[in-house]
């Protein structure tokens, strides 16, 4: 099961406003972490619904936004942050992890080293995020042949179970299960948001469903 934030934590880390139609719109921050080359940028681009066929690897930090409807009167504006997959980015970790409610931990099923790095990435997340941040493990590049696979699905499931998170294998190249993984993480946080009122400002904003 995806590790989820509690209601108070979710609301405290979310910006809330009202659309022109009166709907509550919560802005939530999610980040992708994992070693360089695992496909984080392509995963993020697919969820943002960008049409670029071959996105470049992230340099520094970047994010895109997409709005999802959670209920009849509540929407989530999800900011998906991506960063270069090196531990050198620790110098900007405060800006990257600040306000984060959910983390997608990504590895490449065809590169054992990226799976072996997960413990270090998870440690970095827990050192710099809220203690109850939502987590999901993603094994990317499931389109690879069985002879190219270096990390079994069972290994991914065991790691996820050990650390209390859900597990999904995706193919960013073919677009398989990317939407499912992102929505699962986002909605696991959204269900803990106050349903009756905004806990932050009541400033009217223009509706922006991406």
Predicted confidence (pLDDT) per residue in 13-48, tens digit: 557 777 777 778 889 999 999 999 999 999 999 988
Q: Is residue 110 part of a domain?
A: yes
pLDDT, residue 122, reads 95
Q: Exposed, middle or buried, 85 (CB in 10 Å: 0-12/13-18/19+)?
A: buried
> Which CATH number does the domain housing residue 73 bear?
3.40.50.300
Q: Is residue 104 part of a domain?
A: yes
What residues pair up with 99 in beta bridges, in sequence order? none
Domain with 41 in it: 7-202
Q: Is residue 209 part of a domain?
A: no
Rounded distance, CA 123 to CA 33, Å?
A: 11
pLDDT, residue 169, reads 98
Q: Is residue 207 part of a domain?
A: no
pTM for this predicted structure: 0.80
Rounded distance, CA 195 to CA 140, Å?
A: 34
Q: Is residue 50 part of a domain?
A: yes
pLDDT, residue 200, reads 46
pLDDT, residue 69, reads 85
Would you mind telling me the total number of residues written for the chain in this entry?
Answer: 210
Q: Is residue 208 part of a domain?
A: no
Q: Is residue 154 part of a domain?
A: yes
Domain count, the chain: 1
Which residue ranges in the chain fall short of pLDDT 50? 4-5, 7-8, 11-12, 51-59, 200-210
């Amino acid at each position: 099961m995806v590790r989820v934030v509690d209601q108070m934590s979710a609301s405290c880390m979310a910006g809330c406003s009202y659309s022109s139609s009166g709907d509550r719109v919560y802005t939530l921050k999610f980040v992708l972490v994992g070693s360089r080359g695992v496909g984080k940028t392509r995963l993020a681009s697919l969820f943002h619904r960008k049409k670029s066929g071959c996105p470049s690897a992230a340099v520094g930090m970047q994010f895109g936004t997409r709005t999802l409807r959670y209920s009849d009167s509540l929407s989530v504006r999800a900011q998906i942050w991506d960063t270069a997959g090196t531990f050198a980015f620790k110098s900007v970790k405060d800006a990257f992890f600040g306000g984060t409610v959910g983390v997608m931990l990504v590895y490449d099923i065809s590169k054992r080293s990226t799976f072996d790095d997960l413990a270090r990435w998870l440690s970095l997340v827990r050192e710099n995020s809220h203690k109850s941040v939502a987590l999901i493990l993603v094994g990317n590049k499931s389109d690879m042949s069985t002879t190219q696979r270096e990390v079994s699905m069972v290994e991914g499931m065991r790691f996820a179970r050990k650390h209390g998170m859900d597990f999904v294998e995706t193919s960013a190249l073919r677009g398989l299960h990317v939407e499912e993984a992102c929505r699962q993480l986002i909605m696991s946080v959204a269900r803990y948001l106050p349903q009756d009122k905004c806990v932050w400002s009541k400033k009217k904003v223009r509706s922006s469903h991406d």
